[in-house]
Structure 1
Amino acid sequence: SRMDLQEPQQLGMFAESELMSVGMDTFIHRIDSTEVIYQPRRKRAKLIGKYLMGDLLGEGSYGKVKEMLDSETLCRRAVKILKKKKLRRIPNGEANVKKEIQLLRRLRHKNVIQLVDVLYNEEKQKIYPLAQGCCFLNCALTYMVMEYCVCGMQEMLDSVPEKRFPVFQAHGYFCQLIDGLEYLHSQGIVHKDIKPGNLLLTTNGTLKISDLGVAEALHPFAEDDTCRTSQGSPAFQPPEIANGLDTFSGFKVDIWSAGVTLYNITTGLYPFEGDNIYKLFENIGKGDYTIPEDCGPPLSDLLRGMLEYDPAKRFSIQQIRQHNWFRKKHAQAEALVPIPPSPETKDRWRSMTAVPYLEDLHGYNEEEDDDLYDIEDDIIYTQDFTVPGTGEVIVG
């Protein structure tokens, strides 16, 4: 209206110089920061079936990973939340997730991540358990409920300047990796993407092989372990894939990747590097690498056997198990690399994040519970860590 257009012109009663001298305080009421009372946003409980949702643990190309609490068993879980729209934008995204669910459902081993449950959410926002053999691809959201792991191996490596583990610790993890890999191969499964980023750890130091999205299940009546496709991480791929061979031994690909992993966790380096993927594959295809002298003869010999250029001459799992470095009991000469604090909350104990949501769900009031505690009592929280490969428990 005419009046609306004229109202802003009322400021014209002030000259420009007067406006500058009057200042914004004339028009905006200022308050001191000490007068502001900050109320943290209350965490609202969200149930997915029988599972109480916790905080975000991580995020990848396929979706988010959050902590969960099973309300029936009170077991701590992790859940992959997969969005159909996001999967469709990733090459082979839907197929890889469907394959991972099918594979994990048939696997049971202490060193392979366990799939506990699968739920899906239709457009109507109703939660249903995913029946055996059911296709989830028409669902808006799919929830893969997994056993909970406190940390990833790559996260532990990144938390220390050396980017490696002491030999004693690396040996314990490597032995568990070989145990899990041997089980997968016994089930006719080629992982194809063994690397520290896909190895998870529990609070007691148990290693779990995870992320079977690019894995391949061999046909039950296949004559051998021949594979034709690979989608693994470039730095961990063997020469036969770098050189573009049409067919290759799947099991020997996993042996090579495990060898690169062992090289990395004991030296903090990679056997092959390149400014880009083409240069990296060129270097891998040539097969020339060096092993740091401080690795020592036994470890160097094992690495050479696992990083053998010719797949036919490359070590088998049986040869790895019989190797002196694998069988040797290594002394703890250096301090262990601990599980680092949570990157989100900086909590060194990585406490259960579902607790605030439990309080919201059951109406917990801190003021009402004051009489349960003696103010003078000191509560000390400790956490036990089991050194991998040993029975020794360190109390922190």
Structure 2
Amino acid sequence: MDPRMCRKVSNSSDSLGEVEDVEYEAREEVLPQESEEDLYPPCSPEPLSVTWLDDDQIEDLDLNLDQTNLFFHRVDSADIIYRSKKKKCKMVGKYVMGDILGEGSYGKVKEMLDSETLCRRAVKILKKRKLRRIANGEQNVQREIQLLRILRHKNVIELVDVLYNDEKQKMYLVMEFCVGVLQDMLESSPGKKFPQHQAHQYFTQLLDGMEYLHSQGVIHKDIKPGNLLLTLDQTLKITDFGVAEALDMFSAEDTCYVGQGSPAFQPPEIANGAETFSGYKSDIWSAGVTLYNMTTGRYPFEGDNVFRLLEAIGRGSWAGPPASLGAALCSLLRLMLHSDPRRRPPLHELRRHKWVQTVPPLEPGEKMISPRSRRSDELHNSTVLPYLVERHYASAQEYFTERELRQELEERESRTLSTAELSDGDSASQRKRRWHSACGRLPACRLT
């Protein structure tokens, strides 16, 4: 690397003696371009080595530079040297880490690959330092782990493994791999809603999962599209049990005392500040809001802020579902979103409803929305494979210059590849093109 890229010049004021009441004239001088011989005189030690830093290391640096002591020299673009960002393969236990699938208030979710069974997994990475800054953060995580260890149902996310790293104060929750989130699918679909045929498919699975949870005495308290995932075979999974509550198995009541779910999905009794409420009926209300959102693209109650929203929910006055949904679906939504929890039907009655029993057909022009998250592609390719390829089949060419990059871009714009060039996979030009296209963010460097 050309050392002219970054060079710190010592402060010339250090050699001045103590002078009082002396005025200096500021002048702008153009320094001559130095050669490598000037930078490294015969008596100087070996050239300075370069330490490359990734994004995480840059964030950890505490730079406190005195800008008055730095001189910046103009460098020709041909002398700038880049290095491609390598996909460093990282393993946690027997699992190979992949890219980020999502990120929430508690931590990041990444893809994983089980090196023994070759099964795709998802891992929720939690930092204890971050959990301490969240109200009841550590308690919610421990509650989620305890519940997921005992829950086993096709429509409830499965906890595969729990790993701890005491040195880095991290916790890894290894779970089933899912390819899509209902919330992301809604935001990317036309009208931000599903066809009734597709919404019916997801809602019936949601009822199955809720019926199992309630049979185990578990109240989810946060049923919403953002906590409903999909696998490759379109199986719905209920996830995020951070605010869930396990009732006493010997209690004949489902009384709950704390509501911690999302405001838009809270029932009127919680919005009005009731000290106790029915846990089963609150989940039914949240499922009704979820169904309303999936079929209309809107929410039954809205407000400019959280206080206005809770006030509207507490009053329980709404215009009702639009008539375009059909009489059967409107009837179901009115039952589930009744302001009086005693008037909301239990799950076994919802299963006998006409709309639940009959699968709505696809209307002309409607298309099924494919499961896809914000960071996944249409084919749901594994993000772990590039890390394994980089580890076992690393590219021999590691550095390239600005001039080479510009020449490559000009050639790509001015020339159309022929069939023979595309088929010649072993040619040097093809390897160079593929290598350049794989370059990501350029890492920073510092001289040590």
TM tier, shorter chain?
0.7 to 0.9
Of 270, 279, 300 in structure 1, the residue corresponding to residue 330 of structure 2 is 300
Does the alignment pair 1:4 with 2:48? no
1:14/1:68 CA distance change after superposition, 3 Å: same
Residue 227 of structure 2: aligned partner: 198
Letter of the 2:182 partner, please give it: M
Distance in 1 (CA, whole Å) between partners of 2:281 and 2:322 is: 24
1:29/1:60 CA distance change after superposition, 3 Å: same
Does the alignment pair 1:230 with 2:262? no
Q: Secondary structure at the match of 1:256?
A: helix
Does the alignment pair 1:210 with 2:239? yes
| Superposition CA RMSD, Å | 2.8
TM-score scaled by structure 2?
A: 0.72
Residue 88 of structure 1: aligned partner: 132
Distance in 2 (CA, whole Å) between partners of 1:7 and 1:31 is: 34
Does the alignment pair 1:68 with 2:112? yes
Residue 383 of structure 1: aligned partner: none
Distance in 2 (CA, whole Å) between partners of 1:154 and 1:161 is: 13
TM-fit CA distance, 1:348: 2.7
Distance in 2 (CA, whole Å) between partners of 1:122 and 1:104 is: 22
Distance in 2 (CA, whole Å) between partners of 1:265 and 1:3 is: 65
Distance in 1 (CA, whole Å) between partners of 2:162 and 2:349 is: 38
Residue 162 of structure 1: aligned partner: 191
Distance in 2 (CA, whole Å) between partners of 1:63 and 1:247 is: 31
Distance in 2 (CA, whole Å) between partners of 1:353 and 1:209 is: 24
The total of aligned residue pairs comes to: 343
Distance in 2 (CA, whole Å) between partners of 1:37 and 1:339 is: 41
Of 338, 342, 352 in structure 1, the residue corresponding to residue 370 of structure 2 is 338
Letter of the 2:382 partner, please give it: M
Distance in 1 (CA, whole Å) between partners of 2:136 and 2:207 is: 28
Contact 2:230 2:371 (8 Å CA) reproduced: no
1:105/1:3 CA distance change after superposition, 3 Å: closer
TM-fit CA distance, 1:330: 1.6
Letter of the 1:4 partner, please give it: S
TM-fit CA distance, 1:38: 4.9
TM-fit CA distance, 1:230: 0.8
C-alpha offsets along residues 2-33 of structure 1, whole Å, 9 cap, x if unaligned?
9923999xxx99975x869x9xxx9523125x
TM-score scaled by structure 1?
A: 0.81
1:108/1:15 CA distance change after superposition, 3 Å: closer
Distance in 2 (CA, whole Å) between partners of 1:153 and 1:274 is: 23
Letter of the 1:336 partner, please give it: M
Does the alignment pair 1:320 with 2:354? no
Identity of aligned residues (%): 57
TM-fit CA distance, 1:263: 0.3
Distance in 2 (CA, whole Å) between partners of 1:95 and 1:14 is: 62
C-alpha offsets along residues 21-64 of structure 1, whole Å, 9 cap, x if unaligned?
x9xxx9523125xx867542111111111111111111111111
Residue 185 of structure 1: aligned partner: 214
Q: Secondary structure at the match of 2:340?
A: coil
Distance in 1 (CA, whole Å) between partners of 2:383 and 2:235 is: 21
Which residues of 2 match residues 116-131 of structure 1 at below 5 A? 116-123=160-167
C-alpha offsets along residues 66-117 of structure 1, whole Å, 9 cap, x if unaligned?
1100001000000011111100110110000000000000011110000000
Of 21, 24, 44 in structure 1, the residue corresponding to residue 88 of structure 2 is 44
Residue 30 of structure 1: aligned partner: 76
1:91/1:4 CA distance change after superposition, 3 Å: same
Residue 389 of structure 1: aligned partner: none
Distance in 2 (CA, whole Å) between partners of 1:3 and 1:142 is: 47
Distance in 2 (CA, whole Å) between partners of 1:307 and 1:3 is: 72
Distance in 2 (CA, whole Å) between partners of 1:27 and 1:283 is: 62
Of 311, 315, 318 in structure 2, the residue corresponding to residue 289 of structure 1 is 318
Distance in 1 (CA, whole Å) between partners of 2:14 and 2:388 is: 56
TM-fit CA distance, 1:141: 0.9
Distance in 2 (CA, whole Å) between partners of 1:92 and 1:365 is: 45
Q: Secondary structure at the match of 2:122?
A: strand
TM-fit CA distance, 1:310: 1.1
1:3/1:263 CA distance change after superposition, 3 Å: closer
Q: Secondary structure at the match of 1:162?
A: helix
Q: Secondary structure at the match of 2:192?
A: coil
For structure 1, which runs of at least 5 residues remain unmatched after alignment?
126-139, 368-373, 378-396
Q: Secondary structure at the match of 2:368?
A: coil
TM-fit CA distance, 1:288: 1.1
Distance in 2 (CA, whole Å) between partners of 1:90 and 1:366 is: 43
Does the alignment pair 1:275 with 2:309? no
Of 359, 368, 385 in structure 2, the residue corresponding to residue 355 of structure 1 is 385
Residue 97 of structure 1: aligned partner: 141
Letter of the 1:278 partner, please give it: F
Of 292, 305, 312 in structure 2, the residue corresponding to residue 263 of structure 1 is 292
C-alpha offsets along residues 224-266 of structure 1, whole Å, 9 cap, x if unaligned?
1111111000010111111111111100000000000000000
1:38/1:318 CA distance change after superposition, 3 Å: same
Distance in 2 (CA, whole Å) between partners of 1:353 and 1:37 is: 28
Contact 2:121 2:175 (8 Å CA) reproduced: yes
1:45/1:19 CA distance change after superposition, 3 Å: closer
Does the alignment pair 1:145 with 2:191? no
Distance in 2 (CA, whole Å) between partners of 1:355 and 1:27 is: 42
Residue 58 of structure 2: aligned partner: none
Letter of the 1:202 partner, please give it: T
Letter of the 1:348 partner, please give it: E
Distance in 1 (CA, whole Å) between partners of 2:358 and 2:26 is: 87
Q: Secondary structure at the match of 2:314?
A: helix
TM-fit CA distance, 1:327: 0.6
Letter of the 2:298 partner, please give it: L
Q: Secondary structure at the match of 1:143?
A: strand
Distance in 2 (CA, whole Å) between partners of 1:13 and 1:218 is: 80
Q: Secondary structure at the match of 1:312?
A: helix
Does the alignment pair 1:114 with 2:150? no
Distance in 1 (CA, whole Å) between partners of 2:77 and 2:15 is: 27
